[in-house]
Structure 1
């Protein structure tokens, strides 16, 4: 079967796809290089490489050329993805753990993007995988929709419907319990005990809604401490992080409260006590969240280390098994919307490229709040009478 291969380059870590004979798959590598040249993140390249490796395994199992496929072939591929049996022609007549629709859609999206790229280069095969549509369903219409009505737009002939699910959120008591378990303040001797680094991280994610990669990519120069003004954190797009982390949405500013700002100051003091100011040549360019106990001292913290630590804390505190750092982002957005913050403000704070992303992801929050107002039926019916009297 085809496999994905991690590759270390001068620009950082990337991914490619190897065929059954361990040779690099030329057409796929050409497409992945296009993604790299257009500043796609390493995680995006990795995700698309995984989907295309499954597609290439499917083609190799059937002895089929990549540029001689149609919608029927893609439909067969989707079925195998759902059964988790890519490149297996025999269907097992037993209960199987079906792949989630979101996973299937992600893999199919990488394949269709690959063929869209080939079509842009003049390939003819994409004509059998796309169809022209004149209008787009739904209330939201993108800019220049009137142009599409005249000429149509190319849409995938095979689409995976993913049922929208309410995003998971954390309760205030759960977030407070994790913060307290990480580190606590002792007023008697004015010191912190425990993992102050993780207390700062969880508090930052809770109060700002940053993605984990954005938080771990913060350098000390990005934290603008409040000195007569509101403190803020700057999210800056960089491509030189040792672990390939990038700011997904480019530059933005996120204002923060004084307590979080003071917590950062305590963390800086703790780093200096550990000798960071003597070891680091460039303090401003150093990463805020760094190693203290394992690995190279003061090197940037890995996302894998955060997930491993959170796994330990979840078992210790009885937090939801499926909890990830991204739950903080969902919780932050939900809290803002329930507090009546306008959609466009929440969208800017989260760094969404399109406000429609915010609306689609958190529509249930505002809808539930609006529908909850209908619960006081007695008050509503009384208003009918008052209007009739006038």
Structure 2
């Protein structure tokens, strides 16, 4: 495929096809990479004054890549681009490197100057879990919504119990179909990048999902999404986020009490109960143990806070 007459857009399409069919990345990841790639090529076209071809991509300079990242950092109202934070800039550079790495390996078109570009320094951020009492409060508060029908309250409880009891992402919980219920002893979850893992199902999780299934009013085929919205369509992540926002408002919890915080809580509470990092890594589906190790800092901070509260300075 080392055809120097390929257009830059055709080279980008070949990379995305590689990611989809050989790397089997998720649709969301593919969409993000495609968006980054198109903006990068549009910048080069504007900067260089015309359409680019595969051979042109091999001549990209470190200064050009830095200029593109600076433009993304500032944003552009004219093009509808929002300013990017340091972490997003780092992700953009990573995607550009991956694109050029593909062009080097598959198209014999290296871009040596790219090695001179350094990404921004990113201050490590710690996960922000909720406490065990706060997690229980969120689950219990689902029954107190005066505007929700009984099956909707049962659905909300089931979704949050899944996120907290199994450490699932919202997309993973909402990917369940009618054929998944009643839940088995272990559930096969397809996570980021199409990576599969097994999630043990606690009795409380199974009971919550069974309670919802018994009450939900819609006829569902085996392949239909298990969790449904009020009018019968599939439940969306936005609904879950809005629901947790209402619940935390009634409970007086901080804005960090999000659906994803329940996944963080799952890991942190397991660690506090004595689970080892490798097991937590497998349960969460983390590709790298270093990602899971962040929870040790969270648990250590909780111990420090408890010590400080019990032994205040004089």
TM-score by length of 1: 0.64
1:287 aligns with 2:232: no
2:201 is aligned to: 256
Q: What is the deviation of 1:196?
A: 1.1
Cα distance change on mapping 1:86 and 1:72 into 2, 3 Å: farther
Using a 3 Å threshold, how does the CA distance of structure 1 residues 257 and 354 change in structure 2: closer, same or farther? same
Gap change, CA 1:232 and 1:206, over 3 Å in 2? same
Quote how far apart the aligned CAs of 1:171 are.
Answer: 2.7
Structure-2 separation of matches of 1:247 and 1:286: 21
**Conserved? CA contact 1:219–1:286, under 8 Å:** yes
Report matched runs for 1:26-65 at 5 Å: 26-38=10-22, 39-63=24-48, 65=52
Q: Are the equivalent residues in 2 in contact too, given 1:224–1:233 (CA < 8 A)?
A: no
Change (3 A) 1:324 1:26: farther
After superposition, the Cα gap between the structure-2 partners of 1:253 and 1:119, relative to the gap in structure 1 and judged at 3 Å, is: same
1:82-101 to 2 correspondences below 5 Å:
82-85=73-76, 99-101=84-86
Question: Residue in 2 aligned with 1:235?
Answer: 188
Contact 2:178 2:220 in 1 (8 A): no
- Rounded Cα–Cα distance in structure 1 between residues aligned with 2:130 and 2:275: 19
Distance in 2 between residues matched to 1:108 and 1:366, nearest whole Å: 32
Contact 1:249 1:352 in 2 (8 A): no
RMSD: 3.4
Match of 2:180 among 198, 209, 222: 222
* 1:47-90 per-position Cα deviation (integer Å, ceiling 9, x unaligned): 112222332232233125451311122122222222225999xx
Instruction: Show the 5 A alignment for 1:63-82.
Output: 63=48, 65=52, 67=57, 68-82=59-73
Shift of 1:221: 3.7
Q: 2:262 aligns with which of 302, 314, 328?
A: 328
> 1:91-116, CA deviations, whole angstroms, 9 ceiling, x for partnerless residues?
xxxxxx96321111111111111111
> In the aligned structure 2, how far is the partner of 1:112 from the partner of 1:345?
32
Paired residues of 2:181 and 2:210 also in contact (CA < 8 A):
no
Stretches of structure 1 that go unaligned for 5 or more consecutive residues are: 1-22, 89-96, 132-156, 186-190, 226-230, 238-245, 376-390
In 2: Cα distance, 1:365 partner to 1:204 partner? 22
Q: Among 174, 195, 202, which residue is 2:160 paired with?
A: 202
Q: Per-residue displacement from partner, 1:218-272 (whole Å, max 9, x unpaired)?
A: 12443565xxxxx6341244xxxxxxxx66553332223322222222112113x
Distance 1:207 1:317, change over 3 A: same
Do the aligned partners of 1:51 and 1:106 also contact (CA within 8 Å) in 2? Answer: no
Other structure's SS at 1:254 match: strand
Task: Give the structure with the larger strand fraction.
Answer: 1
* Structure 2 residues without counterparts, runs of 5 or longer: 1-6, 309-314
Secondary structure of the equivalent of 2:107? Answer: coil
Q: Larger RCO: Structure 1 or Structure 2 (Cα < 8 Å, ≥ 6 residues apart)?
A: 2
Distance in 2 separating the partners of 1:193 and 1:281: 18
Going from structure 1 to structure 2, the CA distance change for 1:162 and 1:203 (only over 3 Å counts) comes to same
Output the CA distance in 2 between the equivalents of 1:87 and 1:118: 31
Match status 1:164 vs 2:97: no
Report how many aligned residue pairs link the two structures. Answer: 291
The 5 Å alignment of 1:341-352 reads 341-352=275-286
Is the 8 Å Cα contact of residues 57 and 87 (structure 1) preserved in structure 2? no
Q: 1:83 to 1:280 in 2, by over 3 A?
A: closer
Contact 1:214 1:247 in 2 (8 A): no
TM-score normalised by the chain length of structure 2: 0.78
